[in-house]
Amino acid sequence: MTHVATHFELFNLPLSVDLDVKALDDLHRKLSLETHPDRLTGADARERRIAAEKSASLNEAVKVLRDPVRRAFYVLELKGVKLDTEHAAAALKMPMEFLEEIMERREALDGARQARELSRAQSMAKEIAALKSASLSTAQTALRADDVPTASIALGKVRYYSRFLEEVEAFEEELAAS
């Protein structure tokens, strides 16, 4: 089986949760100038298809690497734990008290949503965002030390928190659209 380049390898960067986003953007621009299909409009269909694929990989990679949360999940994945499906996430043994707590919070959010109380939902979102960034930083520290079990649990929490925040955003969109 051929080795598929990791997102880090595509940019010739070391595998790490720490990364200079500005430098990444510059590099992405530079590489795009070489691989974007628009640069090869005179070339044959096969070359252009390859260019489009390369370009797509670069764009996918930069999207993952630019964002500290996605980047942490990706580093964890490269270390062998993939949290990309509900199933995989559920297989993690999340602490019971965490699950109970998040369940309570989601019920409270549902309540706010039904009552169409945006400000209540937003203040909950603020608390969750703080918890999320704390968990992310726990995960990053653990990943730097190669402590995969701790990182998995911390990112498992981040996943739940992200879901929660997405729900608040969906609520905001819903209100804006009506």
Partner 1 sequence: MKGFLQIHDPLKPKGHVVGIDLGTTNSLVAAVINGKAECLAADEGDARLLPSVVHYSANGSVIVGKRASELLPQFPTDTIKSVKRFMGKSLGDVETRKLGAYKFLEGKQGVVRFEVAGGQPVTPIEVSGEILRQLKRRGESHFAGKVEQAVITVPAYFDDAQRQATKDAGRLAGLDVLRLLNEPTAAALAYGLDKGVQGLYAVYDLGGGTFDISILELIDGVFQVKSVGGDSALGGDDFDRAIAQKVLDARGIKEPSAQQIATLLQLARAAKERLTDAPQTELVFEGAPFPITRADFDSWIAPLLNKTGVSAKRALKDAGVSVEDVKGVVLVGGSTRVPAVRSYVAQIFDREPLSDIDPDQVVALGAAIQADLLTNEERKDEVLLLDVIPLSLGLETMGGIAEKLIGRNSTIPIAQAQIFTTFQDGQTGMDIHVVQGERELVQDNRSLARFKLSGIPPMAAGMGRVQVTFRVDADGILQVSAKEESTGIEQQITVKPTHGLTDEEMEQMLLDSIDHAEDDMQKRLLAEQRVEAERLLMDGAKQLKENGDLLSTDERREFEAQLTRLSTLAKTETNHEALKAVITDVDGKARPFVEKILDRAIGKAAVGQQIEDF
Q: Give the interface with partner 1 as residue ranges (CB under 8 A).
A: 29, 32-33, 36-39, 41-42, 52-53, 55-57, 59-60, 62-63, 84-85, 87, 166-167, 170, 173-174, 176-177
Integer Cα distance of 50 and 160 in angstroms: 37
Distance of closest approach, residue 173 Cβ to partner 1, in angstroms: 6
Helices 96-114 and 148-177 cross at an angle (nearest 10°) of: 0
* For partner 1, the closer CB: 88 or 103: 88
At a CB cut-off of 8 Å and minimum separation 6, what does 129 contact? 161, 165
* For partner 1, the closer CB: 5 or 33: 33
Distance of closest approach, residue 134 Cβ to partner 1, in angstroms: 21
* For partner 1, the closer CB: 150 or 162: 162
